[in-house]
Structure 1
Amino acid sequence: MQKGALKDKVAIITGGATGIGKAMALEFARLGADIVIASRNVKNLESAAIEIAEFNKKVIYVQTDVRNPDDVENMVSKAVSKFGKLDILVNNAAGNFRVPSLEMSVNAWNSVVNIVLNGTWYCSQAAAKQMVRQNSKGAILNIGSTHVLSGNPGTAHSTAAKAGVLALTKTLAVEWARYGIRVNYISPGPIEGTGAAVKLWPTPEVKETVLNRIPLGRMGTVQEVANLASYLVSDYADYISGANFILDGGGHLNKR
Structure 2
Amino acid sequence: MVPSAAAKAGVLAMTRSLAVEWAKYGIRSNAIAPGPFPTEGAWSRLLPGDLVKKFDPAKKVPVGRVGEHQELANLAAYLVSDFSAYVNGEVITIDGGEWLKGAGEFNNLDLIPTEMWDMMEAQRGKKG
Pair in the same fold by TM > 0.5: yes
Asked if residue 219 in structure 1 is aligned to residue 70 in structure 2, the reply is no
- What's the CA shift for 1:175? 0.9
Distance 1:170 1:194, change over 3 A: farther
Higher relative contact order (CA 8 A, sep 6+): 2
Q: After superposition, what is the alpha-carbon deviation per residue over 1:183-232, rounded to whole angstroms, capped at 9, x for unaligned?
A: 00111101022644333333224542x32211111110211111100010
**Match among 99, 108, 125 for residue 252 of structure 1:** 99
- Give the distance between the partners of 2:47 and 2:9, measured in 1 at CA: 21
Q: 1:170 and 1:194 mapped to 2: Cα distance?
A: 32
Q: Which of 81, 89, 102 matches 1:242?
A: 89
The residue type equivalent to 2:86 in the other structure is Y
Deviations 1:1-38 (A, max 9, x none): xxxxxxxxxxxxxxxxxxxxxxxxxxxxxxxxxxxxxx
Equivalent in 39, 43, 48 of residue 193 of structure 1: 39
Work out the percentage of aligned pairs sharing the same amino acid.
50
**Runs (5+) with no aligned partner, structure 2:** 102-106, 109-128
Within 5 A, what are the aligned runs for 1:1-256?
Answer: 153=1, 156-193=2-39, 195-202=41-48, 203-208=51-56, 210-254=57-101, 255-256=107-108
**Secondary structure in 1 matching 2:13:** helix
Query: Secondary structure, in 3 states, of the residue corresponding to 2:89?
Result: coil
Q: Which has the higher strand share?
A: 1
Please, what is the CA RMSD of the aligned residues?
Answer: 1.8
In structure 1, what residue type is equivalent to 2:10?
Answer: G
Unaligned stretches of 5+ in structure 1?
Answer: 1-152
Q: For 2:75 and 2:8, how far apart are their aligned partners in 1?
A: 19
Structure exhibiting the larger radius of gyration computed from Cα positions: 2
The structure that is helix-richer by fraction is 2
In 2, Cα distance between equivalents of 1:206 and 1:165: 32
Q: TM-score when scaled to structure 1? A: 0.37
TM-score by length of 2: 0.69
Q: Cα offset for 1:178? A: 0.5
Deviating above 4 A after TM superposition, structure 1's stretches of 4 or more consecutive aligned residues are none
**AA aligned opposite 2:61:** I
Q: Which secondary structure state, in structure 2, belongs to the residue aligned with residue 187 of structure 1?
A: strand
